[in-house]
Structure 1
Amino acid sequence: MNIHAIREQFPILHQQVNGHELVYLDSAASSQKPRSVIDAMRDYYEHSHANVHRGVHTLGSRATDAYEGARAKVATFLNAKDIREIVFTRGATAAINLVASSYARANCQPGDEIVLTAAEHHANLIPWQQVAKATGAILKFIPLQPDGTFTLEDAAATMSSKTKIVTVSHMSNVLGNVNPIKELVQLAHEHGAVIVVDGAQSAPHHKVDVVQLDVDFFVLAGHKMCGPTGIGVLYGKQALLAHMEPVEFGGDMIEFVDLHDATWNEAPYRFEAGTPIIAEAIGLGAAIDFLESIGMEEINKYVTQLGNYAYERLSEIDGLTIYGPTKNRSALVTFNLDEVHPHDVATVLDTYGIAVRAGHHCCQPLMRYFDVSSTARASFYLYNTEAEVDRLVDGLIQTKEFFGHAIR
């Protein structure tokens, strides 16, 4: 990978923050956008903007072709069998909520089990809490190891004949570990359960093959993979989507409407009520083009190496605690400096132009598991460099020294 050439394609990176060259280490929250994505969305608005699907005029046809072309790109990106298995949503959170509200509420009964972990992002926890309250289903949590990961043996022991849904993250936004999804899928299917995979963190870095993994549902967020905000994807097996009821109603999701009743369009359109997220879908398609021009295998190799380098460098700092496993990590490091609040760490780093995330990372149960209220997190993507990791280390050492003097 030619990192210099890649960085040149991201306009936002070429600026100073607080008198220092920007070091953006918050891609797990939201990645930056290459010029090709920005240009694709601008081109749509300047030359092809119209509503999709029903217009027969030229602009409507252009817009429809671009929108549905983006759906085809996502299907190819995930190796879905059919473009009808790709539903556009407002984000990964909306995609999980769609499965919870449509599939889970219709298929869960009192006493049925929904299996997940305490390491899930709130977006993959709260919707299932609401399903359990509405249906009488029971949430069961796979026990965590001291480093926050789980074993397949514990996963198997947690499932039973009553398990209807298993839902886990592919890659943790706090721990950086990649979960054994293929093996979990096999366990879930052995119990007759469907599996929902939160791929918000994995899709930007890994080649995801939904057929090879045999997942039932998979979600991703466009803004974490060089695409725009406001666009996400739900992949669902066609046989499942075909029997799911829509949760939003209005234009374009219908087949026939009478004064007192209506019938629904086929999937995915029955789940895309109203004017779709057209420009954002086009931007996501351009992001996929950009990522695939580099190669997902190359991206994964590079960010994994960068994450390991960061783990090693930060491990050299006395008084710094790193959370998560020592192996099988990806492109982020979550940590705390002794006696310094994570928000103070992030604030001081920002004075050096270094952007990191501080807080509970929408994982409050996992924070409590580690007996902390919050942590700092540095996350890396294809445009970051080892030199930027070195700047992070220098910034943390200076932060430690500053607060050490202040404490004394």
Structure 2
Amino acid sequence: MESINIQKQFPILNQKIHGYPLVYLDNAASTQKSLQVIESLQQYYKQDNANVHRGVHTLSSRATDAYEGARKKVANFLNPEGGTPIIAGAIGLGTAIDFLEGIGLDTIEKHDKQLTSYAVERMKQIEDVTMYGPDDGRFGLVTFNLGKVHPHDLATVLDTYGIAIRAGHHCCQPLMRHFEASATARASFYLYNTEEDIERFILALEKTKEFLKSDFILISS
């Protein structure tokens, strides 16, 4: 899978943060929307915005057809449904499913596993990096700390290099207590991430370590 080509299909990734190209590694919290999904939402709101299943006019008919087509895809992909439909969301989700199935879920899984393994091996080369959880079966993310540097401080400095990661307890305080960590940093990967992204992350991590120094940062409460 050519992630660099896939990356171009996600407009939000084509920007600079603090003068650096954005490397988005917070995918476990929110993944980005492809241009196809954005355009399908724009299409609905610009040309087809109407209620479904109850109108006889052209807009309602088009909205119903688009919604039902997406609904079938979602049923095959996820198999849940309930409540009042979010029409534009359903249409966008249908387009997202088309996008994912066009690449292939097996291909995406293989890519994410390879990228995670690559990141783990590179992070092992940085002194004072502690990674949490077993290496076997690690998939899509790496949870870690850098010496005594608080994850919020780490994430803040990494952001100045255009690297977006997650910091905190990740809504799993019992696990944090198990690891005896008040908080951790987390880098998570998706189909648009590349080995080049990992290398930029590693370089920024090394620069951050040098800048902060483990004994310089106070642990935040």
**Rg larger for:** 1
Kindly state the Cα deviation for residue 56 of structure 1 after the two structures are TM-superposed.
2.2
> Which residue is equivalent to 2:181?
372
Residue 166 of structure 2 contacts residue 186 of structure 2 at CA under 8 Å; is this kept in 1? yes
Cα distance in 2 between the residues matched to 1:326 and 1:7:
27
Moved beyond 6 Å, runs of 4+: none
Contact residue 23 and residue 355 of structure 1 kept, 8 A: yes
- For 1:60, the equivalent position in structure 2 comes to 60
**2:148/2:214 contact within 8 Å kept:** no
Counting only pairs closer than 5 Å after superposition, residues 302-321 of structure 1 correspond to structure 2 as: 302-321=111-130
SS state at 1:69 partner: helix
Aligned length: 217
Q: Deviations over 1:275-331 (max 9, x none)?
A: x21111111111111111111110100011001111111111111110111111111
d(CA) in 1 for partners of 2:161 and 2:202? 12
Q: 281, 285, 293: which is aligned to 2:90?
A: 281
User: Which residue in the other structure is 2:132 paired with?
Assistant: 323
C-alpha separation in 2, matches of 1:364 and 1:335: 15
Structure with more of its chain in strand, by fraction: 1
Equivalent in the alignment of 1:272: 83
In 2, Cα distance between equivalents of 1:71 and 1:394: 44
Q: State the 1:49 CA deviation.
A: 0.8
C-alpha distance in 1, partners of 2:160/2:4? 25
Partner of 2:207: 398
What is the match of residue 301 of structure 1?
110
- What residue in structure 1 maps to residue 29 of structure 2? 29
* Distance apart, 1:86 and its partner CA: 2.8
SS for the counterpart of 1:407 is: coil
Contact between 2:151 and 2:167, CA under 8 Å: does it hold in 1?
yes
Corresponding position of 2:170 = 361
Please give the alpha-carbon distance, in whole angstroms, between the structure 1 residues aligned to 2:111 and 2:148.
33
Mapped to 1, the partners of 2:76 and 2:26 lie a distance apart of: 28
Length-normalised TM-score, structure 2: 0.94
Residue of structure 2 equivalent to 1:86: 80
Q: TM-score, normalised by structure 1?
A: 0.52
CA contact (8 A) 1:334 1:378 kept: yes
SS in structure 1 at match of 2:31: coil
Structure 2 residue ranges without an equivalent (≥5): none
Cα pair 2:129 2:146 within 8 Å, conserved? yes
Partners of 1:16 and 1:46 in 2: CA distance:
29
Task: State the distance in 2 between where 1:7 and 1:77 align.
Answer: 23
Choose 378-387 or 50-59, whichever is displaced more.
Answer: 50-59
Greater share of helix: 2
> Over residues 220-246 of structure 1, what are the superposed CA-to-partner deviations in whole Å (9 max), with x where a residue is unaligned?
xxxxxxxxxxxxxxxxxxxxxxxxxxx
Alignment of 1:240-255 (within 5 A): none
Q: What is the distance in 1 between the residues matched to 2:32 and 2:23? A: 12
Give secondary structure in 1 for the equivalent of 2:144: strand
Shift of 1:4: 2.5
Would the aligned equivalents of 2:41 and 2:91 in 1 still touch at CA under 8 Å?
yes
Contact 2:4/2:194 (CA < 8 Å) preserved in 1?
Answer: no
Q: CA RMSD in A?
A: 1.5
Q: After superposition, what is the alpha-carbon deviation per residue over 1:324-376, rounded to whole angstroms, capped at 9, x for unaligned?
A: 11111111100001110000000010010100000111111111111111100
Give the CA deviation at 1:402.
Answer: 1.4
Q: Distance in 1 between matches of 2:51 and 2:211?
A: 56
Paired residues of 2:147 and 2:214 also in contact (CA < 8 A): no
Matches of 1:53 and 1:368 in 2, distance apart? 50
1:43 aligns with 2:43: yes
Matched with 1:257 is: none
- The residue that corresponds to 1:175 in the other structure is none
The answer to whether the 8 Å contact 1:71/1:86 transfers is: no
Paired residues of 2:146 and 2:214 also in contact (CA < 8 A): no
Indicate if the aligned counterparts of 2:132 and 2:143 stay in contact, CA closer than 8 A: yes
Q: Aligned AA for 2:83?
A: E
Q: Distance in 2 between matches of 1:336 and 1:404?
A: 13
Q: Secondary structure at the match of 1:396?
A: helix
Q: Secondary structure at the match of 1:378?
A: strand
1:137 corresponds to which residue?
none
Identity, in percent, stands at 61
Distance in 1 separating the partners of 2:70 and 2:193? 27
Aligned-partner Cα distance in 1 for 2:209–2:80: 47
